[in-house]
Amino acid sequence: MDEIDRIRHEKKKKMLESLNVEDTPAGNAGTNGKPLKLTDTNFNDSIRSGVVLVDCWAEWCGPCRMLEPTIEELAQDNAGKAVIAKLNVDHNPVKANEYRITGIPTMLLFKNGQLADKIVGFTSKPDIQQRIDRLV
C-alpha cells in the first residue's frame, strides 16, 4: 500500500468511527441498531425487502451533520423493524444520480425495493419516524 492509499484508508476509518456507521452486509442490516453504510454496489440488495430509510448525505454538508444524531437514534429505535442506512452522495454518484438527489440531506424511504417517500432537507425526528411507521 503506498502512502496515499494508507492516508485514505486512515481517513475513511476515522470518518466511519466518527459517524458511528457500520460497514455491515445487507443480510445483517437493522439487527445491530447502527446505520448501514450503503454504496453504489450494495444499494439494490440492501433496499430489496422491508422498510429502508436511506439518508443521502455528504461530509461537507452542515445540515447533514446536524441530522447525524437523529439518524443514529432512528437506527436504534427501529432495529428489527426498519433498516436505517446512509449513502454518501459524493462517494456514490451512480445512485445519487439515479434518484435525482440534487439537495442534501435527502432521505429516501423504500418498501420492498420500491421508493415510497422522499424527504428533502433537515427534518425532525418525529416527522421521520411517522413516515417510517406509515410503511411498517
Catalytic residues, by residue number, are 61, 64
Taking the alpha carbons of 115, 34, 6, 65 in that order, is the dihedral positive or negative? positive
Separation CA 94–CA 90 (nearest Å)? 10
Q: Amino acid letter at 41?
A: T
Contact 95, 43 (CB under 8 A): yes
